[in-house]
Amino acid sequence: MSRLVMKFGGTSVANVERIRNVARHVKREVDAGREVAVVVSAMSGKTNELVGWCKEAAPLYDQKEYDAVVASGEQVTAGLLAIALQEIGVPARSWLGWQAPICTNDTHGSARIESIDGAGIIDGFSRGEVAVVAGFQGVHKESGRITTLGRGGSDTSAVALAAAIHADRCDIYTDVDGVYTTDPRVVPKARRMDRVAFEEMLEMASLGAKVLQVRSVEVAMVHKVPTYVRSSFDDPANPGEGTLICNEEDIVEAQVVTGIAFSRDEAQITLRRVADKPGVAAAVFMPLAEAGINVDMIVQVVSEDGNTDMTFTVGSADYERAYALLEKIKDDIGFASMAGAKDVAKVSAIGIGMRSHAGVAARAFRALSERGVNIRAITTSEIKFSVLIDEAYTELAVRTLHSLYGLDAA
C-alpha cells in the first residue's frame, strides 16, 4: 500500500469552506487506497494576528511563550480538518506536535526537528485512520515546552514527517500549480517545470523562489523524499499536474539552466580603503557572524597603494544593524569610509547542467552588458551563478537571462 504525506498551507485552509475542500482532496487519495498523513498550516492571517498580540503584550516577547501562543493556529486547523474528514466518511484524528511527538531542539521560534516518532500515526493507518498533523510546531522533550519551526515551517514538518514514516511522496499543496522557470508575474513566458532536481530546487529556494521553504528542500534532499508541488485550487475530483522535486537521475532531459531566481531583499555595503593585511577579512566578517548577520556575496578590489575596497551583501532586514555594528568597530578593522545601498537586487541562474558546460555564466555577463545592466558583484557555485545589480534593472535582467537560456514558453 502506498503512503502519502499531503501538506496544505494557510490560503488552502483559510476558512471552513476551504478546509472542506482540502478534505475532498484527502478523500480522493484515501479512496485510491493510500495511507495518508496531512500536515496543515494555520488559517491564513491567524499567525499574523497571534504574532501581533505577542508584540502588543511586549515588544521583546519571550520566545517560549510566543511558541505556545502561535502554535495554537495549526492546532485549530488540525482539529477542524479532522472533523471535516469524519463528516465525509473518512476516519481521521488530529496530532499536535507534542502528541506525535515531533521532537525539536530548544531554539524557540526557529527550532529544528531532531526526530519524529511516527509509531502512533502508523498505528492509526492500520485502523484506516488519516493522521492530521499540526505543522510548524514541535516539542522540546527535556523541557516539555512547545516549539515552532519559524515561518514557513509547515513545509519542513511535512517533508520530515514523510521521511519519518517512509512515505512514497510528499505533496505540497499551495496557491500555485508548481515550480516555474522564474516568477510568472515578471516573465509571462515562464513555464511550469515537470521535474526539478533537489539541488536545483535548493538553490532556487535559497536565491529567492518563494514556493518552498529552503529548510524543507534540504530535508527532502537529505532523505530523498520525492516532493510534489501542486495547486490546492484544483478540482479535488480532477486535479492538474504540478512539479516533482526528485533525484537528478530521475530527470531524463536535463537542461543547462533550469530556472532564474531573483531577490530584492539584498543590501550592499562597501568599505573603502581597508588595509590589505592578513586577518582583515576576519576582522570584518567575524563580528557580523557573531551578531547573526549572514554575509552573501563578497568582492575585494585591491588598489595600487596597497589598500583595498571591500564590497559585500547582507539581507536588507539586517542592513541597518550591520551598518551600525561596522561603524562601531571601524577602528578595529581600519577603513577610511563606508557606503551602503539598499536598492540592489540579486539575479541568479540555476542548473545542474552547468557542471558539464563551460562558459554558461560568461554568456550571461555579455548579454546583460549589451542591455546596459551594470554588474556590481558576482558569485558562482557548481550549479548556479548570481549577479548583483541595481534594483531598477531586475525585470530586464531576469527576462534577458530567461530568454538567453531558452526557458521561454513557445
Q: Which is nearer to a second copy, 79 or 353 (CB)?
A: 79
Which region among 58-66, 311-319, 385-393, 398-406 touches a second copy (by CB under 8 A)? 58-66
Binding residue numbers for ATP = 7-10, 174-175, 180, 185, 210-211
Among 6, 96, 187, 244, interactor with a second copy by CB under 8 A: 96
- Minimum separation from the CB atom of position 77 to a second copy (A): 9
The smaller minimum CB distance to a second copy, of residues 92 and 297, is found at: 92
Interface with a second copy (CB under 8 A), residue from 14, 51, 68, 361: 68
Residue 144 binding a second copy, by CB under 8 A: yes
Q: Which stretch binds a second copy (CB under 8 A): 6-14, 94-102, 205-213, 379-387?
A: 94-102
Restricting to residues 145-164, which ones interact with a second copy according to CB under 8 A?
A: 145-146
Binding part of the chain for a second copy, among 68-76, 159-167, 291-299, 396-404 by CB under 8 A, reads 68-76
Interaction pattern, residues 28-57, with a second copy; x per rule: CB under 8 A: ----------------------x--xx-xx
Question: With binding defined as CB under 8 A, does residue 391 bind a second copy?
Answer: no
Does 19 bind a second copy (CB under 8 A)? Our answer is yes
CA nearest 368: which of 386, 356, 342? 386
Interface ranges with a second copy (CB under 8 A): 16, 19-20, 50, 53-54, 56-58, 61-62, 64-69, 71-73, 75-76, 78-80, 82-84, 86-87, 93-94, 96, 98-99, 144-146
